């Protein structure tokens, strides 16, 4: 009997803990907002809004970083009224998440889907003056944001872009309707439900055991090298996508691979970056660069990569006119892959 009571008490304690878990309660609360339009509308009353203009977030410069200001519902309503926009536009906002105290966070683009006859380009400087901040392209500002703001604004831009591109049903051609949270769109004529999606991308750091392979595209900033990356094809497994991309881009055959981590990436149209380490046989390291995919690729030693990770100002042009070899910023998952390899070069030598 005492044994039974002990087990029952432990189960009850676990059950109570799960009910009180901050993560679980937040997740359940956000699910409710996604499924219940009235609950979501109520959450907007006490929520906070991040503002965008043509997918560029509103940011304030603070020393060497950007900050993303929040606005209350009443502040947003006053702003919309001042610039001749209907406050019903707030229904175009999308839910991003919430705080531990269940303050919901939303994002609204002040221009996308607007029916206002006022020219958007004329409004932008006036809005920036009124808000005492600037609308800045996310790609330019991303690495100067803190981790929380970078994640929220990346999610916001991806959702706002998706809704802007999916206003009509691909089957009926009729306008689709967004739910209050922006977690889906529904075609009223045939009830088809559309959900925001991400494209899976494999990003792979290849090693031969003592060196790692890094590459660059012509679109990269001068001097920057990164891990190999490419979209997954329909029907491929993760392992097949890694092996194909490495073969296509540098002409090498992967022997072993190991999953590392994943990251949402908002560019160009919202991707799920799936990071892996891969190894090739030491005797099979001759690179054959596919110039249609890459500008250059090379093997780098442990010391070279470790030095590049420590470089504080990679953008400084050298006296001979060249730029030093440098790596993606800390926020990028490629940086984490490379750092893992430097800290433990054999971390990728596990069986597939």
Establish if 175 belongs to a structural domain: no
pLDDT of residue 200: 96
Give the mean pLDDT of 321-348: 84
Band of residue 352 on the pLDDT scale cut at 50, 70, 90: very low
pLDDT of residue 14: 43
Establish if 179 belongs to a structural domain: no
Give the mean pLDDT of 203-210: 94
211 and 152 in a single domain? The answer is: no
17 and 93 in a single domain? The answer is: no
Band of residue 179 on the pLDDT scale cut at 50, 70, 90: very high
What's the chain's average pLDDT? 89
What is the number of domains present in the chain? Answer: 3
pLDDT of residue 337: 97
Establish if 176 belongs to a structural domain: no
Who has greater pLDDT, 7 or 90?
Answer: 90
Establish if 140 belongs to a structural domain: yes
pLDDT of residue 122: 56
Band of residue 317 on the pLDDT scale cut at 50, 70, 90: low
pLDDT of residue 209: 86
Give the mean pLDDT of 29-50: 97
Give the mean pLDDT of 33-44: 98
255 and 298 in a single domain? The answer is: yes
326 and 295 in a single domain? The answer is: yes
Give the mean pLDDT of 83-92: 91
329 and 242 in a single domain? The answer is: yes
67 and 119 in a single domain? The answer is: yes
19 and 54 in a single domain? The answer is: no
Instruction: Kindly provide the b/e burial profile for residues 268-303, where b requires at least 16 CB atoms within 10 angstroms of the residue's own CB.
Output: eebbebbbbbbbbeeeebebeeeeeebeebeebeee
- The crossing angle, in degrees rounded to 10, of helices 302-310 and 333-343 is 130
The answer to whether 256 and 348 have CB atoms below 8 angstroms apart is yes
Residue 117 belongs to domain with CATH number: 3.90.79
276 and 305 in a single domain? The answer is: yes
Establish if 183 belongs to a structural domain: no
Residue 347 confidence (pLDDT) above 70 = no
29 and 69 in a single domain? The answer is: no
Establish if 99 belongs to a structural domain: yes
Band of residue 118 on the pLDDT scale cut at 50, 70, 90: low
Establish if 153 belongs to a structural domain: yes
Closest CA to 114 of 95, 90, 94: 90
Q: Which residues pair with 105 in a beta bridge?
A: 48, 97
Tokens read off for 303: 């010391």
Give the mean pLDDT of 89-105: 96
Residue 315 confidence (pLDDT) above 80 = no
Q: Where is the domain boundary, 121, 144, 165?
A: 165
Q: What is the distance of C-alpha 343 from the center of its chain?
A: 25
Residue 344 confidence (pLDDT) above 90 = no
203 and 339 in a single domain? The answer is: yes
Residue 287 belongs to domain with CATH number: 3.90.79.10
Tokens read off for 40: 């979501």
Q: Where is the domain boundary, 165, 184, 211?
A: 165
Give the mean pLDDT of 197-207: 96
pLDDT of residue 52: 97
CA-CA distances (angstroms) from residue 136 to 119, 125, 144, 146?
19, 12, 12, 15
Residue 197 confidence (pLDDT) above 80 = yes
Structural domain of residue 74, as residue ranges?
46-165
Q: Where is the domain boundary, 146, 165, 184?
A: 165
Residue 3 confidence (pLDDT) above 90 = no
280 and 339 in a single domain? The answer is: yes
147 and 243 in a single domain? The answer is: no
Establish if 181 belongs to a structural domain: no
Alpha-carbon distance of 43 to 26, in angstroms, equals 13
The answer to whether 114 and 89 have CB atoms below 8 angstroms apart is yes
Alpha helix (H) residue ranges in 92-221: 120-131, 138-141, 147-165
Band of residue 135 on the pLDDT scale cut at 50, 70, 90: very high
Q: What is the tens place of the pLDDT at every residue in 50-73?
A: 999 999 999 999 888 999 999 999
User: SS3 for 18?
Assistant: helix
Alpha-carbon distance of 242 to 232, in angstroms, equals 8
Can the peptide bond before residue 156 be classed as cis, meaning omega within 30 degrees of 0?
no
Band of residue 20 on the pLDDT scale cut at 50, 70, 90: low
The answer to whether 205 and 278 have CB atoms below 8 angstroms apart is yes
């Amino acid at each position: 009997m005492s044994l039974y009571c002990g087990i029952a008490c432990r189960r009850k304690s676990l059950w109570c803990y799960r009910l009180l878990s901050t993560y679980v309660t937040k997740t359940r609360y956000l699910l409710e907002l996604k499924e219940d339009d009235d609950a979501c509308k109520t959450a907007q009353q006490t929520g906070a809004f991040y503002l965008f203009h043509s997918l560029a977030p509103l940011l304030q410069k603070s020393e060497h970083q950007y900050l993303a200001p929040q606005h209350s519902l009443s502040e947003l309503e006053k702003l919309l009224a001042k610039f001749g926009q209907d406050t019903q536009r707030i229904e175009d906002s999308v839910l991003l998440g919430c705080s531990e105290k269940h303050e919901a966070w939303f994002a609204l683009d002040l221009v996308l889907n607007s029916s206002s006859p006022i020219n958007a380009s004329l409004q932008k400087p006036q809005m920036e003056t009124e808000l005492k901040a600037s609308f800045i392209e996310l790609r330019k500002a991303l690495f100067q944001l803190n981790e929380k703001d970078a994640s929220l604004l990346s999610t916001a831009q991806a959702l706002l872009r998706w809704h802007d591109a999916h206003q009509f049903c691909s089957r009926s051609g009729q306008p689709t309707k967004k739910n209050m949270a922006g977690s889906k769109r529904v075609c009223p004529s045939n009830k088809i439900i559309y959900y925001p999606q991400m494209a899976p991308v494999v990003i792979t750091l290849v090693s031969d055991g003592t060196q790692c392979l890094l590459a660059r595209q012509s679109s990269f900033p001068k001097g920057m090298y990164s891990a190999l990356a490419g979209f997954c094809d329909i029907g491929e497994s993760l392992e097949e996508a890694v092996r194909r991309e490495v073969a296509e881009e540098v002409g090498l055959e992967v022997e072993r691979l190991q999953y590392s981590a994943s990251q949402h990436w908002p560019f160009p149209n919202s991707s799920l970056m799936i990071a892996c380490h891969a190894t090739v046989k030491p005797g099979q390291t001759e690179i054959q660069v596919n110039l249609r995919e890459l500008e250059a690729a090379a093997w780098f030693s442990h010391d070279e990569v470790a030095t590049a990770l420590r470089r504080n100002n990679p953008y400084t042009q050298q006296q001979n006119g060249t730029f030093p070899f440098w790596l993606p910023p800390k926020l990028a998952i490629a940086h984490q892959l490379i750092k893992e390899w430097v800290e433990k070069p054999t971390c990728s030598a596990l069986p597939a």
